[in-house]
Structure 1
């Protein structure tokens, strides 16, 4: 990217950088909706089927969840007013963490303001300059940033390549037998929608004395008994050291969490900077998240997951998650396809570098249980020629 002086002092000119992004087909702009989110939205005066959001169970506009949020405001006020370690810890925060730990089958859980804050706070708290973090190449940006902030040595293995990971762990242990080694991956990868080989990863980390940090953001509410994720689905949740997740996707709200042992949780309370130095999430949000968790783990949650699986199958038979990519390669091809779908009444985003590797620009379809079958079938007809 070129830079042009904006003053005699040589300050970078943001207009030139924006022009470079535009020329490369990588410029992003904010495009507000004219309506609340949901399976059907308004943008620029047009009604569109929304296949862009991560509201996998259709809870973001659920009346019961909205009422729980309002009830939380009435009971606890609008904000927490301080960090959790000062005076910002309120009853809903503790109740939510206890309920999360019980649902995830762990000793404890800790709630953060977002999934991004969970990653960038937890990883530097868990590892330092004498340690090694080993990431899947397609890990989310928050995990990459958290790893960089830790100061630990970072190693990367090709996506889901357990053979390469095994060699990496062998070499790391040979050179740094006392290091804390953490393998970091996602259960459902956010741009490809595929699953990690979780059982094999657990066997490898156990064999080499490592820990496993599993980001269940796109699996929470979607996979496993009562929607508790891939680790629960495979019956290995007691062998995953750190289960990260968010309330911003299937739970229909906002916020993040890490479920782990009491000792690790207490260490995070003391060291995770995004927790220690950030105002606590609004208590009303935590109160509403309790209702969301109850819905996710109930028979209603089971019904929504069944409808979600049926909708996924219409678009991509056998696909394991509600994230369905349509790879197109070039940035312009992806942008043109998204624009064409919008003219046909569908909101489907074009995803480009750096969110995905260069040359792999795509449409990213997000399926929800709230999508009616006829809308899903209509989108399937639109994308079939692509």
Structure 2
């Protein structure tokens, strides 16, 4: 018989979430996650996918995945350190290292895994981590797992970072100190001040760590935020995902050969997770080749982002500090954010509400993600829906 304590807790907590507009209904797609999606027999302009370059539905990736699956099977069969490392995994890591401009790279089953793995493998009790207050949840959890002392600094506030780095170094308490930041912040679309962070790191002997999940494939000619600023030789750990611009699934850590060897020997997600399936690895290899060799994909992404952002601003929406294709329409109130999302849905636009705990309370927004796959006609439909919904709800004039 189920625990009455658990049942009571779950019913009470779920009711509270629904009453406060914080419960997110999970929708199921009836086809591929492209610029237009199908659900419940209807089609929607899709503005909620991280499929920046449209590669998740690219036939070339599908062909590579099918060929590898037929040759190697649907799964890799073991963890990497036993006999779950296929020739494909080694090829992927070589391609990733070349893509990021580093000596080596290590692939993981997910980007979330990367932050759980790398932070806790390098940092431990007796160390300190200087972490931007808006870093991704996976960074926060990785920091907790490391048992290091976590010192949060104000978002992109370099004076605060410098002061806390000085205090941590001069205290003499810590064997190692790491500065860790997202490259592109996923909820606002702003870019970390990496040149300043690199300067502060050199001044106070900090390990530098950049989670570039939303920068890889988007900035730096596709190579990411670190390449965007020309800092490849000054950042110790670059973390990336294979599930956003690359369009598949998985993640990776790029850095020195010694770092890769250490992570393969000591990072628990690498040691205890079955390795990426062959189809996903082969598709990722194909995608990296396309990202590196197809600047027109990035061009279409940025052109569409600028078009959508200009149109939303002209309608009267506040988009905040975004510097990237991430396009948040800031609403604030969670219930109103959900109402806007529901109204857009009724008008044929799928744009999900982002509310607490993904963002702070009172900071609800619709996060729009234009991609290289959208046409101007699709974006015009979305803008028309935003205009109608915003006026109906009193959010814009």
Structure 1 length-normalised TM: 0.95
Stretches (4+) displaced over 4 A: 9-12
| Secondary structure, aligned partner of 1:42 | strand
Q: Which residue of 1 aligns with 2:345?
A: 342
RMSD: 1.6
Q: Which of 357, 361, 379 is residue 376 of structure 1 equivalent to?
A: 379
Matches of 2:333 and 2:188 in 1, distance apart?
Answer: 16
1:194 aligns with 2:190: yes
Q: Which of 223, 226, 244 is residue 228 of structure 1 equivalent to?
A: 223
Contact 1:6/1:13, CA 8 A, preserved across alignment: no
Q: Which of 316, 319, 337 is residue 309 of structure 2 equivalent to?
A: 316
Q: Which of 280, 304, 320 is residue 275 of structure 2 equivalent to?
A: 280
| Secondary structure, aligned partner of 1:47 | strand
| Secondary structure, aligned partner of 2:37 | strand
Matches of 2:349 and 2:107 in 1, distance apart?
Answer: 35
Matches of 2:158 and 2:8 in 1, distance apart?
Answer: 43
Contact 1:135/1:157, CA 8 A, preserved across alignment: yes
Q: Which residue of 2 aligns with 1:66?
A: 62
Which shifted more, 373-382 or 326-335?
Answer: 373-382
Matches of 1:266 and 1:230 in 2, distance apart?
Answer: 24
1:359 aligns with 2:362: yes
Matches of 1:322 and 1:76 in 2, distance apart?
Answer: 37
Contact 1:222/1:250, CA 8 A, preserved across alignment: yes
1:268 aligns with 2:271: no
Alignment of 1:134-283 (within 5 A): 134-176=130-172, 178-225=174-221, 227-283=222-278
Matches of 1:10 and 1:331 in 2, distance apart?
Answer: 27
* Cα displacement (A) at 1:381: 4.0
Query: Structure 1: any 5+ residue segments left out of the alignment?
Result: none
* Cα displacement (A) at 1:10: 8.1
Q: Which residue of 1 aligns with 2:129?
A: 133
Contact 1:313/1:319, CA 8 A, preserved across alignment: no
* Cα displacement (A) at 1:320: 2.5
Contact 2:338/2:353, CA 8 A, preserved across alignment: yes
Q: Which residue of 2 aligns with 1:293?
A: 288
* Cα displacement (A) at 1:29: 2.5
Which shifted more, 24-33 or 201-210?
Answer: 24-33
| Secondary structure, aligned partner of 2:81 | helix
Matches of 1:366 and 1:121 in 2, distance apart?
Answer: 28
* Cα displacement (A) at 1:316: 2.0
The Cα offsets for residues 10-41 of structure 1, whole Å up to 9 and x where unpaired, read as 87531111111111211122211122211111
Query: Structure 2: any 5+ residue segments left out of the alignment?
Result: 311-320, 391-395
